A and B are shown apart, each in its own frame.
Chain A
Amino acid sequence: MPTPFEYAPAPESRAVVTIASSYGLFIDGEFTDGTGGSLKSINPATEEVLSEIAIASDADVDRAVKAARRAYTRVWSKTSGAERAKYLFRIARLVQERSRELAVLETLDNGKPIKESRDVDIPLVAAHFFYYAGWADKLEHAGFGSNPRPLGVAAQVIPWNFPLLMLAWKIAPALATGNTVVLKPAETTPLTALLFADICRQAELPPGVVNIITGAGDTGRALVEHPDVNKVAFTGSTEVGKAIARSVAGTDKRLTLELGGKAANIVFDDAPVDQTVEGIVAGIFFNQGHVCCAGSRLLVQESIADELVGRLKNRLGTLRLGDPMDKNTDIGAINSLEQLERIRHLAGVGDDEGAERWTADCELPAKGYWFAPTVFTGVTQAHRIAREEIFGPVLSVLTFRTPSEAIEKANNSPYGLSAGIWTDKGSRILKMASSMRAGVVWANTFNRFDPASPFGGYKESGYGREGGRHGLAAYLHVD
């Protein structure tokens, strides 16, 4: 019997990043104290307090919006596209230079494995800034008329699942198009945004063009409801998105929402089976399933369901769950206790509804927030776990018999953010893709992102597009 090949711990060093004991608000190019109290940001893998974060009060929010307005009126709206591009290129380069620091900080604050923050999040952040830097002096040729104009001040509220990447998705197009921003990161993951503030200073971005304010829901509400913002961009839950849509109704604020999802990952009987298994894993277990476009509903052709699920379970048995700082970790920590409880609750609902739960055999660390990769089989469209977004490492498996049944089931959801199609038949890919009511359709892959590709939803998954040429439109008067 051969000796098992045990991988020795390979921890990334946290010495590359310095975390201050407390952080203020980044307004008008300076860190200033907040007046709304403070909250603690913790490492969800260890429950260790990382830093104390200021909460922006209504007055602080007002101060930030005023700074952004001033910067817009006096500086940024008069800065040429080529000059704006220069700052964005600089930021992109600085993100690359400080990528290790950013990756480590992201992993500490968020709980995601270092291999993901190092190989996915941070490279995509840099790519986004490079991409939109390229557009800044070409807006007249982007297909929005000869004189596309910025909107003004953008209020941006982002989630905790891809903290710095969502910041990049928001800030890069806003700055490229000549807007100034006030951005609020999620309360559980503010640290990389605050490090980004330092990068803005290092890039000598004019004060007030980017303002970062921290806090929880109240701060976010004060920001999006502030009368002097021209544009609201939100990524997060559908519930909060609806509240924002209501608050913006009747104003002349422009709004884009990128909300929840319950994506169907559709597998036909001629799919390339080993790569499909990988794609299912990437679809739902990437980033602990904290992905709005996660492939959380596996729709598999009934004739191959048993074999595919068997292979999937074997593969899940090889996933390495544990210390997110270890370079060999595949599955990290759940971002917060609150989210962990939500996942537990919905998994419990799955049990109660009679679906069959299977959990990968892996030991969970004693401290921190963890949830082992879980698969529910025997799920139907009528189950809550097939309809509600769990936002965790929980896959619901449903079956179908014919392509038309697959289309019907895939679209039978209040959401419509993404979908996946697995088949060796090219014509079927095209037919299926055009039948999906989903903003992003992946064929024989899943959860692949590129700054040149627009991203956004149908139905309750939101409206507006981020990324690509389309992403510019959300920040421009295009009449």
Chain B
Amino acid sequence: MSPSPVALIAEPGAVGDVTRSDAALRRFLHGLPGVDQVGADARAAALSTRSIKTTAKAFAIDLAISMIDLTTLEGSDTPGKVRSLCAKARRPDPHDPSVPMTAAVCVYNDLVGLAKDALGDSGVKVAAVATAFPSGRASLAVKLADTRDAVVQGADEIDMVIDRGAFLSGRYLEIFEEIAAVKQVCQEDGATAHLKVILETGELQTYDSVRRASWLAMLAGADFIKTSTGKISPAATLPVTLVMLEACRDWFDATGHRIGMKPAGGIRTTKDAMKFLVLVNETVGTEWLTPDLFRIGASSLLNDLLLQRQKMATGRYSGPDYVTVD
């Protein structure tokens, strides 16, 4: 049997081989099996009809809360806004200490120090967007400085963007090297920041490109692959997440190493969140159902999860005034 590119990567030294030149990397990425858009959409739609009720729903709500990267990425962000976001992340429902903390808060890098102080030793991580987020249009030197700035301030996680312009013009090795360089900064001077690589799938558009970009990021050392910045529509769709999860699964099959996945942007309701968890459960399996390997980048989602959680506890719906606005 002639092994597929996916199987090839399992061989020792294979990563170095496929990334030794632009041509080799292109051959590898374009040799990946294609994605049929109609079929991928149909599979995601079929999984979204799963009916998650009672105990399964209660379990999934708490799991989803614990996976949220509670995010604010606005020009109008202030220390006050970030402090209240951090308070919310530590204690999502002030009346109910049994609600789990969110996984992280996600901010621009000038607010990392402030978020670190506000979160203290709570266990909630601080994620910073870097590399000229959201467009990625800056020189490598600027991107690395941007990343270093966040790491030095103590960011636990870096959410970088890839250069979509380079991707769409076929300069894959440039992206590979950029991700690898950012990863190196994440580990400079004993730092251990995790690297999430944002593909901005809304700009890549085709699922073939999404699959190739996922592999490119994993080859270059991403700890997580992430759909979107949240600044481009469409952001995290179910089929895109499916295609990326399949890439995570294939990478694991080939290397034995689990890469995390983060859909971000447009996930607003409990129902949406359930669909993503089902997708994870039935594509990569239970092993990925932990904040270490699956995150949801969101802001308004948390309040809907809290409302649904209250509903399950009391049997009736409360309302928007029974959850905190930030």
Contacts and interface: CB of A to CB of B under 8 A. Distances in A.
Contacts of B51: 7, 10, 327-328
A478 interface: no
Contact of A272 (B4, B34, B42): B34
A2 B35 contact: no
Contact of B1 (A7, A303, A318): A303
B60 A270 contact: no
Nearest to A303: B2
Contacts, number: 92
Nearest to B207: A272
A7 B38 contact: no
A272 B33 contact: yes
B56 A2 contact: no
Main secondary structure of the interface of B (DSSP, over half): helix
A306 interface: yes
A278 B50 contact: no
A268 to B, nearest CB: 11
Contact of B50 (A272, A303, A328): A328
Contact of A8 (B38, B53, B286): B53
Nearest to A425: B34
A21 interface: no
Contacts of A6: 55-56, 59
Interface in A140-175: none
Interface in B274-301: 277-278, 281-282, 286-290
A272 B1 contact: no
B204 interface: no
A273 interface: yes
B319 interface: no
Interface in B240-290: 243, 246, 277-278, 281-282, 286-290
A119 B49 contact: yes
A271 to B, nearest CB: 7
Interface in A235-286: 270-276, 278-279
A413 interface: no
B39 interface: yes
Interface string A420-431: 000010000000
B40 A444 contact: no
Given A303-B1, A304-B1, A272 B49 contact: no
Contacts of B6: 307
B309 to A, nearest CB: 16
A18 interface: no
A159 to B, nearest CB: 25
B56 A275 contact: no
Nearest to A7: B56
Contacts of B2: 303
A275 B40 contact: yes
Contacts of B194: none
B4 A8 contact: no
A254 B286 CA distance: 57
Given A5-B277, A7-B52, A278-B43, A271 B33 contact: yes
Contacts of A119: 49
B132 to A, nearest CB: 33
A69 to B, nearest CB: 45
Nearest to A115: B49
Contacts of B289: 2-3, 5
A445 B49 contact: no
Interface string B1-29: 11110110000000000000000000000
A444 B53 contact: no
A8 B51 CA distance: 9
Interface in B192-246: 243, 246
Given A272-B36, A274-B35, A304-B1, A8 B42 contact: no
Contacts of B290: 2
A305 interface: yes
Nearest to B294: A2
28 contacts: A2-B286, A2-B290, A3-B59, A3-B286, A5-B60, A5-B277, A5-B289, A6-B56, A6-B59, A7-B50, A7-B52, A8-B55, A9-B53, A272-B33, A275-B36, A275-B40, A303-B1, A304-B4, A306-B1, A307-B1, A307-B3, A307-B7, A327-B49, A328-B50, A444-B36, A444-B39, A445-B39, A445-B42
Given A272-B34, A278-B42, A445-B42, 12 more contacts: A5-B56, A7-B50, A115-B49, A119-B49, A272-B35, A274-B35, A275-B39, A278-B39, A302-B1, A307-B4, A328-B51, A444-B36
Question: What 7 A-B pairs come out closest when comparing CB atoms?
Answer: A275-B39, A10-B51, A272-B36, A327-B51, A273-B33, A275-B36, A8-B56
